[in-house]
């Protein structure tokens, strides 16, 4: 895709790997979403402003957990901004790994396990900037 100074909703959706519905119904309704102008039948948005919005409001920074330390769901939640309930729900749905340790009935994951699980989640940076 050619980098343009402005982007329309389908281009934004393609560039950031989300649905057009996410762009038009979720992101565009956020108070921090950039102003628009018309391009054909679509509203167009400044590409740099969209990248700034995604970086500030959508993407979560990569989390660095100590690889050999055990973390509870609550500790992972505090470090990542996810809720412990989301981690538990994802585990139930098979989208989060089984705990590495369950001593005393407490589920705990090594930092390396949690980091690998987080890397597979949408919205976490994996070394690429939102403008690339």
SS3 at position 3: coil
Q: Which are the contacts of 71, defined by CB distance < 8 A and separation ≥ 6?
A: 65, 79, 108, 109, 110, 111, 114
Structure tokens, 43: 């509203």
Class of domain 6-58: mainly alpha
Q: What is the pLDDT of residue 50?
A: 94
Contacts of 86 (CB under 8 A, 6+ apart): 77
In the prediction, which pLDDT does 129 show?
38
Domain boundaries, the chain: 6-58, 70-119
* Residue 98: per-residue pLDDT: 95
Per-residue confidence of the chain (132 residues) as pLDDT tens digits?
456 789 999 999 999 888 999 999 999 999 999 999 998 888 999 999 999 998 888 876 677 899 999 999 999 988 887 889 989 999 999 989 999 999 999 999 999 999 888 887 765 443 333 333
């Amino acid at each position: 895709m050619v980098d343009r100074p402005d982007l329309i909703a389908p281009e934004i959706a393609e560039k950031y790997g989300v649905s057009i519905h996410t762009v038009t119904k979720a992101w565009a309704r956020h108070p921090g979403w950039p102003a628009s102008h018309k391009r054909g039948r679509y509203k167009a948005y400044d590409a740099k402003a969209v990248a700034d919005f995604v970086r500030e409001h959508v993407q979560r920074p990569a989390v660095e957990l100590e690889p050999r330390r055990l973390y509870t769901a609550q500790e992972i939640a505090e470090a990542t901004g996810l809720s412990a309930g989301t981690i538990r729900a994802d585990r139930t749905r098979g989208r989060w790994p089984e705990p590495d340790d369950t001593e005393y009935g407490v589920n705990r994951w090594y930092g390396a396990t949690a980091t690998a699980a987080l890397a597979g989640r949408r919205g976490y940076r994996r070394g690429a900037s939102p403008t690339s």
